[in-house]
Structure 1
């Protein structure tokens, strides 16, 4: 048996995230990360995922009982409307569009998504990042000491937002949810200071790009 084998993660499940990345006008790195994080928590709080008869409810429950893997893919041209035709939640943020899909086994990804490229999504950041939105919002910071592609960073921001939704302080999460689940990628504060404020921290499973246990992202709610 493999030393990293986890019977609770067999078979492995993942949430698919698809980023619209047209060649002529690609989005920027930070906007994609914010849109991905927002799409994740909006799917998790959608009635399809929360109501007793919601069609995504059991899939979300089954996935969250395992490792909360996320796979970021990119789509352009006709591939984007094909992805939009599948059930999910789309978020637009400063020119970035990201769609989150109900989780499922990694061996049973819909063909419209399975054919989309996973590796290689690495976008430039905006020269002038947008200021934070009005509170309440979730502040997410990526570890500046860890190199990650945009696809990897977007997945980590999704993890951070999800953990904050599930494990953050009850009053803070209620305010954040009622305020529209806004997300801001914080880049203007020292990492160590952000760590002190953080309510949750993401430690990567080590499947791609970074060693297992690496702290990749942190998050807290600003009210």
Structure 2
């Protein structure tokens, strides 16, 4: 695989209806095909429905560490896609989403609002005391009230020093030349974890190391097996901005 930044191509068609006993293709299969072939631009959703995965970040009065929260978000986004329910009751909404742009919208929650988010279909991941919950994707104009009432912006977290990257842990590096809020960064690392898993054919959701380091950024881009996330430019950054890169 080229170390040049990847761009998405035409979405793969959704699954044909299956018999009850017929196995389904993994939800991430279209994403793996998209990023393993010639890059192209994804057109607007064929059915006109814009979908997104809500990613809920737990930010209480006692703030979590920024890096740990991003690592939790990266793992949670992938965990929804490889959960056993992704081959069952979650399959159709996930495939409809993966077939288009894998948009994510990060929101913050605490207290009772965080507790309410746990009642919605999704997966919560905790990393070093920081928690994120990725929910089942759906239309952006039809989200549950428990989600729509949560704020998208307004709170950021200070930079931290997470130390050395643990050996054997997949690495996601956030572009050190681009400033992003914690919510924007959470969405981007979620894209990266999914793309890397799809290309590698993973069936689980490992812990990821997330860093924002110039030396690691250059080293990762020099690899021939790196995957890169190029942003569509809807929020915070210009279209085509490379927001993060990942490799194992």
Q: Do the two structures share a fold, i.e. TM-score over 0.5?
A: yes
Displacement of 1:125? 2.6
Q: Which moved more, 1:203-212 or 1:190-199?
A: 190-199
Question: What's the TM-score once normalised by structure 2's chain length?
Answer: 0.78
Gaps of 5+ in 1: none
With over 3 angstroms needed to count, the CA separation of the structure-2 counterparts of 1:167 and 1:9, relative to structure 1, is farther
Specify whether residues 38 and 44 from structure 1 end up closer, same or farther in structure 2 by C-alpha distance, changes over 3 A only: same
Partner of 1:80: 114
CA distance in 2, matches of 1:84, 1:36: 15
2: CA distance between counterparts of 1:146 and 1:9? 33
Alpha-carbon RMSD across the aligned residues, in angstroms, is 1.8
Matches within 5 A, 1:1-223: 6-8=44-46, 10-23=48-61, 25-49=62-86, 51=87, 54-126=88-160, 128-135=161-168, 137-168=169-200, 170=201, 173=202, 177=204, 181-188=206-213, 189-197=215-223, 199-221=226-248
- Summarize the Cα distance change of 1:132–1:5 in structure 2 as closer, same or farther, 3 Å threshold: closer
Q: Does the Cα contact within 8 Å between 2:170 and 2:207 map onto a contact in 1?
A: yes
CA contact (8 A) 2:173 2:216 kept: no
Q: Provide the rounded CA distance (Å) in 2 between the counterparts of 1:194 and 1:84.
A: 35
Distance (whole Å) between structure 2 residues aligned to residue 82 and residue 16 of structure 1: 14
8 A contact 1:21–1:74 mirrored in 2: yes
CA distance in 1, matches of 2:180, 2:212: 15
* CA displacement 1:22-75 (0-9 Å, x = unmatched): 12x1112111110000001111110001x2xx1111111000011100000000
- Structure 2 gaps, min length 5: 1-41
CA distance in 1, matches of 2:159, 2:48: 37
Please give the secondary structure, in 1, of the residue aligned with 2:191.
helix
Q: Write 1 or 2 for the structure with the bigger share of helix.
A: 1
Q: Distance in 1 between matches of 2:81 and 2:75?
A: 10
The 3 A distance-change label for structure 1 pair 84 and 130 is farther
Q: TM-score, normalised by structure 1?
A: 0.86
Cα shift at 1:133 = 3.6
Give the 3 Å change call, closer, same or farther, for CA 205–97 of structure 1 in structure 2. same
**CA, structure 1 residues 138+79, in 2 after alignment: closer, same or farther (shift >3 Å)?**
same
